[in-house]
């Protein structure tokens, strides 16, 4: 058995300037991570609703571990061989 540790998306935070001028950081547990497209949609929706201007975002990750058994390795190598035989389909 082999144990692997990888970084996975956890949550993101956005920085918002409220109409009162207050700048605050809001943790968005609903999203594990944002990309530019999603950020722009949130930015536009916040502007239209009059709740302030979204200034930036930051994605956070956390470590996660998984274990691969001999059977998992065999299945993985079989899948790679099959994909190669199908020319990467």
Q: What is the pLDDT of residues 17-73, one digit of tens each?
A: 999 999 999 998 888 889 999 999 999 999 999 999 999 999 998 898 878 777 776
pLDDT at 29: 83
What's the longest Cα–Cα distance across the chain? Answer: 62
Q: Looking at the whole model, is its pTM more than 0.85?
A: no
If pLDDT is split at 50, 70 and 90, which confidence band does 85 have? low
Sequence-ordered strand ranges (E) for 1-89? 2-17, 23-28, 53-68
Residue whose entry in the numeric block shows the structure tokens 């949550």: 11
Question: Three-class SS of residue 4?
Answer: strand
If pLDDT is split at 50, 70 and 90, which confidence band does 88 have? low
Separation CA 16–CA 42 (nearest Å):
11
């Amino acid at each position: 058995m082999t144990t692997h540790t990888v970084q996975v998306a956890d949550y993101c935070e956005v920085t918002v300037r409220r109409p009162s001028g207050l700048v605050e950081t809001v943790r968005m547990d609903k999203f594990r991570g944002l990309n530019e497209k999603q950020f722009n949609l949130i930015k536009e929706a916040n502007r239209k609703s009059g709740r302030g201007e979204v200034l930036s975002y930051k994605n956070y990750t956390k470590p996660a571990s998984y274990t691969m058994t001999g059977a998992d390795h065999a299945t993985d190598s079989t899948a790679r061989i099959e994909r190669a035989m199908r020319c990467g389909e």
